[in-house]
Amino acid sequence: MGQELKVIVFKLGSEEYGIDVDKVETIERILPITRVPKTYAFVKGVVNLRGVVIPVIDLRGRFGLPETEPTDQTRIIIVNVEDMQVGFIVDSANDVIDLDTDVIDTPPEVVGGIKAKYLDGVARISDDRLLIMLNLSEVLNKSEIIQLEGIEA
């Protein structure tokens, strides 16, 4: 038996993704986002969450997927990566599941159009349900984090 992992499930398009619940601070409805000049296109700007300014990234844009207009389902998942809070815009986030680490396989080269370096693995939850586990430290690699920290200042 592997270890039990609690995972927040969210969607981008038709694919389901997972983030370790320990790394997630909160899940918010879409908030007013203040644009920030001279950043990557997928960096949407910053939000003010209870007095804390948090950079927000569109995960679709980050992965080179077509960006979409926010809907009632759109959520911002606030995660903690290397002592920094960042918000990820996702199509929806509606589930917390327990996952056995044994069901997580090494990711193939590309899953759902996303390069393997952004992924921790792929978990088969049932015959017709795959969960793509994100590698948060790659999704926000160092040089981008440095840029984002500049935003907060």
Q: What does 98-143 look like in DSSP terms, one character per residue?
A: EEEGGGEEPP-SEETTEEGGGEEEEEEEETTEEEEEE-HHHHT-HH
- First-last CA distance in the chain: 45
Look-up of token digits 């997580």: 104
Tens place of pLDDT per residue across the chain (153 aa): 678 999 999 999 888 999 999 999 999 999 999 998 888 888 999 999 999 999 999 999 888 888 889 999 999 999 998 788 999 999 999 889 999 888 888 866 666 666 777 888 889 888 888 898 988 888 887 677 667 777 765
Give Cα 132 to chain centroid, integer Å.
Answer: 11
Q: What pLDDT score was predicted for residue 101?
A: 85
Q: What pLDDT score was predicted for residue 124?
A: 87
Ordered by start, the domain boundaries in the chain are 4-152
> Measuring CA to CA, which residue among 61, 66, 65 is closest to residue 88?
61
Fold of 4-152: OB fold (Dihydrolipoamide Acetyltransferase, E2P) (2.40.50)
